[in-house]
Amino acid sequence: MQPPLIAVRKSAGDQHAHAMYTRHPTVCHGTKRLKPAELAARGMYHVRMMTDNPAFPDPTPSLQELSDACEELELASGIYTFNKGRQDLEARDAIYRTTKHLIVGLAGYVQSMIHGDHALAMSAGFHVKKKRQPSVPVQAPQSVVARCTPYPGRIELRWAGVRHHSVYDVQIRTTDAGNNEQWVLLYTTSKNHLTVEHLQSDVFHTFRVVAHGALGASPVSDMASAKPV
């Protein structure tokens, strides 16, 4: 059952001047101000909670990727604590940022799967908060750009932000945009940009984006294609 809508009238003299509001649950990634050991422990907690969890059949990023990052963070943190070297600090901070990015991405995936069910978010080890949002349909993302980079297999994606969105689904297909190959969900993110890596070189990859808001998914965006080196 969807939460009730509450009408708020802006002007008593104008029956059309009102807005509709709903309470939309937002998954909290909870990584702010965590120390390296705490962040690694948080990541492993999500791995344990989501392993074999039927509500999340195909986590993005993968649980193995997050688990490996947490183990690397624990190791790098221990090395820095023992040696206190500058290079050791830089290595620890780099894997810290990677681990945090993976947890934030996983929170976005959970957001896209729970459909307002707080218990499902908790079963993945995340908390939710209710954010008051206008209950208006979100628009299709505009100005989607796919840009090649000097790095093999890497493409930079960017699009104009959509008001009142919660997350974006980035979809991909690898053949010519004119044929009917099925689109595949590549990544779910709350940001309006994405770096895609490990793509096949010298092959055109086509992308499109769908925004999600309080009332569901937007229409799909225009397509953007690029061929990585």
The answer on pLDDT for 131 being more than 70 is no
- pTM score: 0.52
182 — pLDDT class (breaks 50, 70, 90): confident
Residue 162, token pair as written in the block: 């959509």
Highest mean pLDDT among 111-120, 171-180, 196-205: 196-205
| 3-state SS track over 101-160 | HHHHHHHHHHHHHHCCCHHHHHHCCCEEEEEEEECCCCCCCCCCEEEECCCCCCEEEECC
Q: What are the chain's domains?
A: 26-131 (no CATH), 136-226 (2.60.40.10)
- What pLDDT score does 75 carry? 96
Residues paired with 167 in a beta bridge: 212
Q: Give the closest residue to 28 by CA, choosing from 141, 135, 114.
A: 114
What average pLDDT does the segment 101-118 reach?
92
- What pLDDT score does 34 carry? 92
In the three-class reduction of DSSP (H, G, I as helix; E, B as strand; rest coil), residue 203 is classed as coil
Backbone angles phi, psi at 199, to 5 degrees: -85, 155
- What pLDDT score does 134 carry? 55
User: What's at 106, amino acid-wise?
Assistant: L
Note the pLDDT tens digit of each residue in 37-93: 999 999 999 999 999 999 999 999 999 999 999 999 999 999 999 999 999 999 999
